[in-house]
Amino acid sequence: MIRLQRVTKRFGGAAEALSNVSLRVDPGAMAFITGPSGAGKSTLLRLIAGLERPTRGHIRVNGHDLDQLSSHAIPRFRRSIGLVFQDHRLLFDRPVFDNVALPLEILGYRRPEMRKRVRAALDKVGLLHKEAANPRTLSAGEQQRVGIARAVVHRPVLLLADEPTGNLDPALSREILQLFDDFNRVGMTALIASHDLALVERMGKPVLHLENGRVEARGGMGGGA
Amino acid sequence: MNPERPLAGRLTGWLESHRDAARRSLRRRLQSPVLSLISIAVLGFILALPAYLWVLLDNARSLSAHVDHDPRIAVYLDGPDDGDIARLEDLLDDNGQVERWSRIEADTALEEYRAGLSDPGLLDWLDDNPLPEVVDVVPASTDPQRVAALREALEAAAPGATIISDDEWMRQLDSLHALGLRILAVLAGMLGLGAVLILALASASELRERQEEIAISRISGATHRFLRRPSLYGGLFTGLGGGVMAVLLLLATTAASRQPLERAAGAFDLDFALRLPEPGHVLALLAAGLALGWVGARLGSGHALRDAP
């Protein structure tokens, strides 16, 4: 599903955000990227989502060579991915339902089908009763779950999450990671970046540990150095 | 995990997406009515000014039809023989460009002149009649080109005759009208370009307000076409509003000018009634508003999307 070969990313004249990173995530797998702030976790996820281009190296995701992907082909590629952010990035000018429906609207779904899928996604994250609420009125944990519902509503093949538990207490964090595990069990490949080592270890999944943009350790994860 | 959906479903989805974009755009405009009205007013004034000038020019052009004075062509024949006169009469009878004509014989003219004198005996010292035969021709059309063509035909039929036409004032009016139209076209072009730039600026700034929505949508795979759709509908709404406002302004200004213009025309003995804009003109104004609104929004949103993160 994901294959990175000796990928380096440098922003302008700054130091390398990622140096020579290789990684492989098989279809249907669930894996974690760990490391302290500034280790390059977000950059790695942004490269995989096609939001950034690597300075060197090759990235292949879901059968697409990202370094050969034209700017016209990028939107179609991104539709196969669900992305969850630490800061949720919800739109406060519309209710929860419309936030979750956004990917389906982009895909051109009809209203009845859209309603069914949005309600199913909200039900899965336990927020069906909040579909008409403005996201501003929700707690941080609820906002994160709306963000997750939006990321999975169009049933992407790959789910990427950047510190999805960053602002949550331990109980809520476990709940959120359990949600990712549930999505993974129905076939969604998941790659999650987190600095919470203890929480990640409890999940018993492959882990790639980054320090200063370099792979420091890998537990049960392919790709080589 | 995204099985291909049937074409009919995708088409309906696409139409619903347009409807949602239009609704969202309209809602955004209703949420900030003052700014929306300012954009509409700017476009309305920009459209109404050249339209008003055009109505005035068009009416000025039609003045020639209201002037109680047909152009005339006088053919002065000095000592013609009967053959010359017959040829000329045949031409005048057969030419479709001739409304009517009359012949004033030299003797008749002299008698009329004599009758107008206080002392008719004054002309007795003349040995013979110095006045020419005159054929007075009224053209069927007031169009300067047709009058000129008729004059050329008369010159060919009566080579020795002196021909004088009094349509000079019409040629002057026609060239002034053409000049006015050219100035108006330049003015309308400049104003139109200004309107497009103003609307593009408004559209770009609106798009910047949607920056977060655009960033999220892009991550979810939105194309530029999808992202600029609400802006284009916004441009069409502003354009339609501007068009309607321009029509209202045009009707108001034309109505306000009607009385003074007709009074002024009356002072010159002109039987003139100001023509109001016709349905075709109203539709043209609405279409111009829609076109300017769309082009402005397309330009502004295209630029802003290129710059957006």
**Last residue in a domain, options B113, B141, B166:** B166
**Last residue in a domain, options B116, B147, B166:** B166
Structure tokens that stand for B78 in this block: 């000095």
CB contact at 8 A, A140 and A168: yes
The confidence score (pLDDT) of residue B14 equals 83
Contact call for B221 and A103, based on CB within 8 A: yes
* Inter-CA distances, A155 with A151, A152, A201, B2, Å: 8, 5, 27, 7
Average the pLDDT over B274-289 and give the result. 89
Instruction: Specify if B6 maps to a domain.
Output: no
Q: pLDDT of A164-193, one tens digit each?
A: 888 778 888 888 888 889 989 988 999 999
Q: Which residue of B has its CA nearest to A105?
A: B17
CA separation for the pair A184, A187 (Å, rounded): 5
**Please, which pLDDT band fits residue B2 given cuts at 50, 70 and 90?**
very low
Instruction: Specify if B4 maps to a domain.
Output: no
Instruction: Specify if B2 maps to a domain.
Output: no
| B196 in the same domain as B126 | no
Predicted complex ipTM: 0.85
Q: pLDDT of B160-216, one tens digit each?
A: 888 888 777 777 777 888 899 999 999 999 999 999 999 999 999 988 888 888 999
CA separation for the pair A218, A224 (Å, rounded): 9
How big is the A-B interface in CB pairs under 8 Å? 64
List strand residue ranges (DSSP E) for chain B, in order: 73-77, 98-104, 133-139, 162-165
| B201 in the same domain as B87 | no
Instruction: Specify if B219 maps to a domain.
Output: yes
| B230 in the same domain as B124 | no
Contact call for B220 and A106, based on CB within 8 A: yes
Q: Which fold has domain A1-77+189-225?
A: Rossmann fold (3.40.50)
Confidence check: pLDDT of B65 > 70: no
| B126 in the same domain as B158 | yes
| B290 in the same domain as B257 | yes
CATH of the domain at B150: 3.30.70
CB contact at 8 A, A148 and A78: no
Average the pLDDT over B68-88 and give the result. 78
Which of B28, B214, B220, B227 to mutate against chain A (most A CBs within 10 Å)? B220
Domain holding B255, by residue range, is: 16-66+172-307
Q: Which residue of B has its CA nearest to A77?
A: B221
Instruction: Specify if B147 maps to a domain.
Output: yes
Of residues B111 and A61, more confidence is placed in: A61
| B148 in the same domain as B294 | no
The answer to whether B23 faces chain A, any CB pair under 8 Å, is no
| B92 in the same domain as B156 | yes
| B187 in the same domain as B298 | yes
The confidence score (pLDDT) of residue B129 equals 81
- How many angstroms separate the CA of residue A110 from the nearest CA in chain B? 4
Which residues of chain A are modeled with pLDDT < 70? Answer: 219-225
Contact call for B2 and A80, based on CB within 8 A: yes
CA separation for the pair A192, A25 (Å, rounded): 12
Instruction: Specify if B300 maps to a domain.
Output: yes
Contact call for B12 and A105, based on CB within 8 A: no
Q: Which residue of A has its CA nearest to B6?
A: A109
List residues bridging with A34 in a β-sheet: A194, A209
Which of A107, A114, A155 to mutate against chain B (most B CBs within 10 Å)? A107
Closest partner CB to A91 (pick from B213, B218, B223): B213
Domains of chain A, by residue range, sit at 1-77+189-225
Q: With beta carbons under 8 A apart, name residues in chain A contacting B216.
A: 89, 91, 102
The confidence score (pLDDT) of residue A224 equals 47
> How many domains does one find in chain B?
2
Instruction: Specify if B3 maps to a domain.
Output: no
Relative to beta strand A16-25, strand B162-165 is unpaired
Q: What are phi and psi of B77, to 5 degrees?
A: -110, 115
Of residues A33 and B262, more confidence is placed in: A33
**Last residue in a domain, options B113, B138, B166:** B166
Contact call for B212 and A89, based on CB within 8 A: yes
Instruction: Specify if B148 maps to a domain.
Output: yes
Confidence check: pLDDT of B124 > 80: no
The confidence score (pLDDT) of residue B66 equals 57
Q: With beta carbons under 8 A apart, name residues in chain A contacting B20.
A: 105
Q: What are phi and psi of B80, to 5 degrees?
A: -75, 155
Handedness of CA B95, B98, B101, B103 (dihedral sign): negative
CB contact at 8 A, B135 and B88: yes
Q: Which residue of B has its CA nearest to A106?
A: B222
Global confidence as pTM: 0.74
| B162 in the same domain as B131 | yes
CA separation for the pair B294, B200 (Å, rounded): 9
Query: Residue A81 in 3-state DSSP?
Result: strand
| B144 in the same domain as B45 | no
CA separation for the pair A123, B61 (Å, rounded): 72
Contact call for B20 and A80, based on CB within 8 A: no
**Please, which pLDDT band fits residue B56 given cuts at 50, 70 and 90?**
confident
Closest partner CB to B2 (pick from A102, A113, A155): A155
| B288 in the same domain as B177 | yes
Contact call for B1 and A156, based on CB within 8 A: yes
| B88 in the same domain as B26 | no
Interface of B with A in 223-252 (CB under 8 A): 223, 226
Mean pLDDT over the full length of chain B:
85
What is the helix (H) or strand (E) element at residue A151, kind and residue range?
helix A140-152
Q: With beta carbons under 8 A apart, name residues in chain B contacting A120.
A: none
